[in-house]
Structure 1
Amino acid sequence: MTTDERQSSLRRMLRRFTASEAEIEAQELRRESAEHGCPPAQLCMRGQVVSVAGRLRTVVYTPRTNLPTLEADLYDGSDVVTLVWLGRRQIVGIEPGRHLTARGRMAVRDDRKVIYNPYYELEPPK
């Protein structure tokens, strides 16, 4: 092992000891997203058809008189993408803490990234 490799290894080890729990979680989610072949949500732009993978942070049913919606915030370690299913009150398996991969056209609503009626694939519970 060269001196540079030892220093790099030591830096990684120190970073793990000094990083917060949120930083470690974000790093792990970014790694898992890359393993699924998905780009970081942070790099996804409006109008692109994208695949994003991560963990659902929140799931909210919004009753509206005309069109109820189910909204879920997907976090991949780099950014949050809101998944919106129009006309749905609930979807089995869509719950906080669940890992999934979603695909659809990226939109922006109120300066937040949104995918409407995404195709999705649930990961097995861990």
Structure 2
Amino acid sequence: MGGTDGGAFRRMLRRLTSDVEVLDADDLSEGAQLSGARRAVECASGQEVTMLGRLRSVEFCPHDAEASLEAELFDGTDAVTLIWLGRRRIPGIEPGRTMRVHGRIAVREGRKVLYNPYYEICQAHTP
């Protein structure tokens, strides 16, 4: 068996023995990387980034000063919180959606955050 065949065999064996969540994270990470998007795990505060991932949660957060819509975007490597200030709802922004977002990374309470990111809702990737 050559080097290429052995690698394919190892990948196939891993897919058969790995947890579904691990495989989903691998697929998300690979899709983001192939699209040219920045991996969330590599992003740091102050960087302007374009990311691709899936929304894990979306919630309206009423605060005293200003309400916001917050969503968690996961790209297979790490999660980033998306925050749209002054919004209660945005059509199409719902858990399970695949999105491409663009903005400048900030850190709030130890979490990576994009405030009012530009976004594009993408077609879900099907294997």
TM-score (norm 2): 0.93
Q: Which runs of 4+ in 1 moved over 6 A?
A: none
Q: Where do 5+ consecutive residues of structure 1 fail to align?
A: none
SS at match of 2:11: helix
SS at match of 2:84: strand
Query: Residues 20-99 of structure 1 correspond to what in structure 2 (within 5 A)?
Result: 20-99=19-98
Instruction: Give how far 1:105 is off.
Output: 0.4
Query: C-alpha deviations, 1:52-71, integer Å up to 9, x for none?
Result: 11000000101123211000
Instruction: Give how far 1:6 is off.
Output: 2.5
Instruction: Give how far 1:10 is off.
Output: 1.5
Which residue does the alignment assign to 2:5? 6
Looking at structure 2, the residues matched to 4 and 32 of structure 1 have their Cα atoms a distance apart, in angstroms, of 24
SS at match of 2:12: helix
SS at match of 2:120: strand
1:113 equivalenced with 2:112 (yes/no): yes
Aligned pair count? 125
Aligned-residue RMSD, C-alpha: 1.3
Percent of residue pairs identical: 46
Q: Where do 5+ consecutive residues of structure 2 fail to align?
A: none
Return 87-96 or 8-17, whichever deviates more: 8-17
